Amino acid sequence: MRYDILLLDADGTLLDFARCERSALDAALTAFHLPTGDAVAQRYSQINRSLWEAYEQGKLEKTTISHQRFAQLLGEMGSTADPYAVAEAYRAALSRGYFLLPGALQVCRTLARRARLYLVTNGVSSTQFARLAGSGLLDLMRGVFVSEDAGAPKPSPDYFSYAFARIPDFSRDRALLVGDSLTSDMAGGAAAGVDTAWYNPSLLPLPASYRVTFQLASLDQLPGLAESGHIPAVTP
């Protein structure tokens, strides 16, 4: 087995975060009699993404993201609803959202028979654990490392130090980090000294500023990669 320690991102890699996010957003806004729809969801995603990127870069405290994203969205909507209350309704709905990406559970079941699986994810610990438990992924993992518990987000070196210290018999040479985010997963993994596999089903071009070891067009390629250390070349 070339890689027997697999560090797996959750949202966008195993879990369909776009679907989870939309479902939770619609539920929270509906609870406060606020409009929903594609335009609202797109704007929320833009706001949320920018805040998380600021957090990953150390420019924002994680504790402020939850209400800030709704404060900004509600302000643009002209609503007087309490952003803290809307944020809590969203978090509760998101905890119940655990839509899996196609093939994710079966691939993890296959991998768990050959390797040790660990989840590496940014987010709120209670929310992530609830979603992972509901999805069936939690039982397949040897450990789950959430940025809230680590006190630092991916791609921070402190995050990876926290995770690596809690993996028995950890070896960088045997570890592979799999994720969809160039900024948090690929950049963080490369800086931490582990090989990386960019989950890139849309075959987007790889920016010259990022270094990845492998590109995955499908999760089905992962068991073969973990076993042999090779996959067919993917041309974006």
Q: Is the pLDDT of residue 57 over 90?
A: no
User: Among 94, 107, 88, which residue's Cα sits nearest to residue 11?
Assistant: 94
pLDDT value for 235: 45
Name the 3-class secondary structure at 98: coil
Of 46, 65, 95, the last residue of a domain is 95
185 in any annotated domain: yes
| Spatial CB neighbours of 49, under 8 Å, sequence gap ≥ 6 | none
Q: How far is CA 123 from CA 49, 103, 186, in A?
A: 12, 23, 17
User: Among 230, 194, 235, 223, which residue's Cα sits nearest to residue 211?
Assistant: 194
51 in any annotated domain: yes
User: Which two three-digit tokens encode residue 189?
Assistant: 């993994």
In the residue annotation, 9 being an active-site residue is answered as: yes
Helical H segments across the chain, by residue range = 17-31, 38-56, 62-77, 83-95, 104-112, 125-135, 147-150, 157-165, 187-192, 222-228
Q: Is the pLDDT of residue 118 over 90?
A: yes
pLDDT digits (tens, 9 = 90+) for 161-188: 999 999 999 999 999 999 999 999 999 9
Say yes or no: 57 and 153 in one domain.
no
Say yes or no: 83 and 119 in one domain.
no
What band does 236 get if pLDDT is binned at 50, 70 and 90? very low
pTM: 0.87
H-run or E-run covering 198: strand 195-199
Please count the structural domains in the chain. 2
Say yes or no: 105 and 204 in one domain.
yes
pLDDT value for 58: 83
Q: What is the CATH number of the domain that holds 24?
A: 1.10.150.240
Say yes or no: 91 and 114 in one domain.
no
Among the listed residues 4, 9, 180, 195, the single catalytic one is 9
- Domain carrying residue 123: 5-16+100-228
pLDDT value for 109: 98
User: Which two three-digit tokens encode residue 53?
Assistant: 């990127």
pLDDT digits (tens, 9 = 90+) for 60-107: 887 888 889 999 999 999 999 999 999 999 999 998 888 999 999 999
Q: What is the CATH number of the domain that holds 185?
A: 3.40.50.1000
Mutual angle of helices 17-31 and 83-95, in 10-degree steps: 130
Say yes or no: 123 and 54 in one domain.
no
pLDDT value for 53: 86
How much is the average pLDDT of 189-198? 98
Q: Is the pLDDT of residue 233 over 90?
A: no
Of 76, 95, 114, the last residue of a domain is 95
10 in any annotated domain: yes
pLDDT value for 188: 97
pLDDT value for 9: 98
User: Among 69, 163, 182, 67, which residue's Cα sits nearest to residue 121?
Assistant: 163
How much is the average pLDDT of 147-155? 94
235 in any annotated domain: no
118 in any annotated domain: yes
173 in any annotated domain: yes
35 in any annotated domain: yes
233 in any annotated domain: no
User: Which two three-digit tokens encode residue 226?
Assistant: 């973990």
Other CB atoms within 10 A of residue 175 CB: 24
Q: Is the pLDDT of residue 40 over 60?
A: yes
Say yes or no: 31 and 90 in one domain.
yes
pLDDT value for 55: 82
pLDDT value for 64: 87
Say yes or no: 106 and 200 in one domain.
yes
